[in-house]
Homo-oligomer: A and B are copies of this chain.
């Protein structure tokens, strides 16, 4: 391991890890991955992204305009604080097994209903305007979770089309859960 190279404690499937991987990829920061099989994850990874933004400002993941920055953070918090914590593994384990899928779907659907409406007023090519922002780093992993939990995304045309445009970008592809050092062979692509 190279001196000074940052270490990312990462879990291939965790949407929180994926968000940070995308930020690192966009900013061209070389890092070492230490896989951690997470029992529990949370929204804390937004602190890492804000730290990266402040110490490695190029390219920007937050717009310059304070109101647009607030939109980016509102969308990010809605996903990382309002949806993901309710459908993560540690919470699902507390729900009876037969209700787990419905519980996760309800959390995602109620969040996506709010998100779709917000995006209709903030989106350009991506979540807020035409540049990739922290909100997009949150969106793509959350849509992947929605797909895992078999949520029908047709009622969310704005979410779906932004997600599609982001998934073709290199930073989102190289960081995808199916291409991580700890991805099990049967899930690789």
A interface: dominant SS: helix
Residues of B within 8 Å of A69, CB to CB, are: 50-51, 54
Residues of B within 8 Å of A94, CB to CB, are: 103, 106
Residues of B within 8 Å of A80, CB to CB, are: 43, 77, 81
Given A45-B77, A47-B70, A47-B71, 12 other A-B residues pairs in contact with their CB atoms under 8 A: A42-B77, A43-B78, A43-B80, A44-B78, A48-B70, A50-B69, A51-B66, A54-B66, A55-B66, A81-B85, A86-B91, A94-B106
Could you jot down 25 A-B contacts, CB within 8 Å? A42-B78, A42-B82, A43-B43, A43-B77, A43-B80, A43-B82, A44-B74, A44-B77, A44-B78, A45-B77, A47-B71, A47-B76, A50-B69, A50-B73, A51-B66, A51-B67, A51-B69, A51-B73, A54-B66, A54-B69, A55-B66, A77-B81, A81-B81, A94-B103, A94-B106
